[in-house]
A and B are shown apart, each in its own frame.
Chain A
Amino acid sequence: GAVVSQHPSRVICKSGTSVKIECRSLDFQATTMFWYRQFPKKSLMLMATSNEGSKATYEQGVEKDKFLINHASLTLSTLTVTSAHPEDSSFYICSLSRSGTYEQYFGPGTRLTVT
């Protein structure tokens, strides 16, 4: 398998502030990274896909100006929630995959609470 870390694991912020979540691959270079969002007791919904060297592709209904994704390198992706509101409170999970493979490696997730 592969090791994926997310930081922070838990964050509480005030409404109107921005929060950055990091997703790191610790032992392989990820050409593709995915960001998912999970509401309480719900399934995971894909927010966006990013490939190294290109801009992220956002799913329908996801505001790209609100959820900024930067595939900074082959081992780092960041998700910035800008001007956060209480409805943005959720569990955010990243996953990484190698080019042309099926399996994805998930980070442990970040619990965001906006007060």
Chain B
Amino acid sequence: AQSVTQLDSHVSVSEGTPVLLRCNYSSSYSPSLFWYVQHPNKGLQLLLKYTSAATLVKGINGFEAEFKKSETSFHLTKPSAHMSDAAEYFCALNQAGTALIFGKGTTLSVSS
């Protein structure tokens, strides 16, 4: 069975400080992994994806994530938080052609 665990339900940072959102996964196969962001009352926006190419993936808005098979992790990072980064973040995985399995989400708060 496949699953995604987001280790923190809520992360609070100050503007200009680094962001770390943690995600661990479980899969019998080599999955593809994704990070999505959702602003209030909006749909999902893809930040980045890993599909068995480079293990360090760069996404939009300065976010990046590193796939670590030995740790079954795919943590999302950003060097410097911006107020506009405050949102809900979802880690997800799937195999080709199948539905995404989502983590429970992490709420990122950014204070000035």
State the A residues within 8 Å of B (CB): 1, 32, 34, 42-46, 49, 93, 95, 97, 99-104, 106-109, 111
Q: How far is the CB of A6 from chain B (nearest CB, A)?
A: 8
Q: Are B43 and A93 in contact (CB under 8 A)?
A: yes
Q: Are B42 and A34 in contact (CB under 8 A)?
A: no
Q: Are B44 and A32 in contact (CB under 8 A)?
A: no
Partner of A103, one of B44, B49, B101: B49
19 other A-B residue contacts (CB within 8 Å) besides A101-B96, A102-B95: A1-B46, A34-B99, A34-B100, A43-B104, A43-B105, A44-B44, A44-B102, A46-B99, A46-B101, A93-B43, A93-B44, A95-B100, A97-B97, A99-B97, A103-B32, A103-B49, A106-B36, A108-B42, A109-B43
Q: A43-B104, A93-B43, A107-B43 are in contact. Are A49 and B99 (CB under 8 A)?
A: yes
Pull 30 A–B residue pairs with CB atoms less than 8 Å apart, ordered by A. A1-B46, A32-B97, A34-B99, A42-B104, A42-B105, A43-B104, A44-B90, A44-B100, A44-B102, A45-B102, A46-B101, A49-B98, A49-B99, A93-B43, A101-B96, A101-B97, A102-B94, A102-B95, A102-B96, A103-B32, A103-B46, A103-B49, A104-B99, A104-B100, A106-B43, A106-B46, A107-B43, A108-B42, A109-B42, A109-B43
State the B residues within 8 Å of A (CB): 32, 34, 36, 41-44, 46, 49, 51, 90, 94-105
Which A residues lie within 8 Å of B90 (CB)?
43-44
Q: Across the interface, name the chain B residue whose C-beta is closest to A93.
A: B43
Q: A43-B90, A44-B102 are in contact. Are A100 and B97 (CB under 8 A)?
A: yes
Which B residues lie within 8 Å of A101 (CB)?
96-97
Partner of B103, one of A43, A97, A99, A102: A43
